[in-house]
Amino acid sequence: MTRNPSIVILTGAGISAESGLSTFRDPGGLWTRVDWRDVATPEGYARDPGAVHDFYNLRRKVVLAAEPNAAHRALARLQARYAGGVVIVTQNVDDLHEKAGSREVIHMHGAHGRALCAACGYRWPAPEVMTPEDPCPACVRSATRPDVVWFGETPYHLPEIQAAVAACRLFVSIGTSGTVQPAAGLVRRAAAAGARTLELNLEPSARAHVFDEARHGPATRIVPDWVEELLSAASF
């Protein structure tokens, strides 16, 4: 990861919504149609691992077919062209940032494209379809699960994320609800370290009031506009 990046960008489900991927907490979002307790908790997996795998197999298929949108591409362009260093921290478990060309992406909630052995902790690329009977390539036990962070589990890479946020000069939150901790608290950590803070969201999030600036509208419009504005200013 870039040491002491100038910009840290936190992205949530809202940036991928225009690529056809459902958000979670919005009206009509995924958790209004599926009980998260059944498919996104260790307890749900223990009760019915087959149902959990069926849910993630379907999600994985949808994610594999999705394409990055103008917002993802704009952030990849910013990473490639901005001299100060840009780190993307995403709550999303899709790979649309990588498909768009971004290289420094920290997945704090895991990824649909990875599998995890609940017995030994080994990780490997997930096949398109997973079952509870799949053996771990390392320990051969049948303890395969999606490599995603469920409710009640600790997000990945937290020390690395917190260090980047504390060192940045600009913290930007894109497409997040502002309700999921610890991601929702990163804006205050950035502000406490002296960074400017900016929210780019379809609508004001639950924490819009704590940002120095907020711009609202579709991600495919406001994110490219902001990126071009930033790159133009940096070129002078």
Residues 75 and 12 in one domain: yes
Q: Of 148, 170, 203, which residue sits at a domain end? A: 148
Same domain assignment for residues 72 and 54: no
Q: What pTM value is reported for the model?
A: 0.91
Please tell me whether residues 30 and 85 are part of one structural domain: no
Q: What is the DSSP string of 17-28?
A: GGGT---SSSTT
Strands 105-107 and 123-125 come out as: unpaired
Q: What is the pLDDT of residue 75?
A: 98
Q: Are residues 98 and 175 in the same domain?
A: yes
74 and 103 share one domain: yes
CA-CA distance, 215 to 211, in Å (whole number)?
10
26 vs 226: CA distance, rounded Å: 24
Residue 209 is among the residues annotated as catalytic for this protein: no
State which of 126, 148, 170 marks the end of a domain. 148
Residues 82 and 128 in one domain: no
81 and 187 housed in the same domain: yes
Helix, coil or strand: residue 16: coil
Write out the residue range of the structural domain in which residue 165 sits: 1-21+68-109+155-236
Q: Are residues 17 and 6 in the same domain?
A: yes
Using the 3D structure, point to which of 88, 120, 148 is the last residue of a domain: 148
Q: What is the pLDDT along the chain (236 residues), one digit of tens a residue?
A: 555 579 999 999 999 999 998 766 656 667 667 788 999 999 999 999 999 999 999 999 999 999 999 999 999 999 999 988 999 999 999 999 999 999 989 999 999 999 999 999 999 999 999 999 999 999 999 999 999 999 999 999 999 999 999 999 999 999 998 777 888 899 999 999 999 999 999 999 888 899 999 999 999 999 999 999 999 987 54
CB-based contacts of 108: which residues, under 8 Å, 6+ apart? 89, 90, 91, 149, 155, 156, 157, 158, 161, 183
Residues 140 and 195 in one domain: no
The reply to whether 138 and 232 lie within a common domain is: no
Task: Give the per-residue pLDDT at 88.
Answer: 98
Q: What is the pLDDT of residue 184?
A: 81
Same domain, 27 and 144: yes
Indicate which CATH number applies to the domain containing 92: 3.40.50.1220
Q: Residue 138: which CATH number?
A: 3.30.1600.10
Q: 217 and 164 share a domain?
A: yes
The number of folded domains in the chain is 2
Of the residues 53, 72, 109, 112, only one is catalytic, namely 109
Q: Let me know: does 86 contact 6? Beta carbons within 8 Å.
A: yes
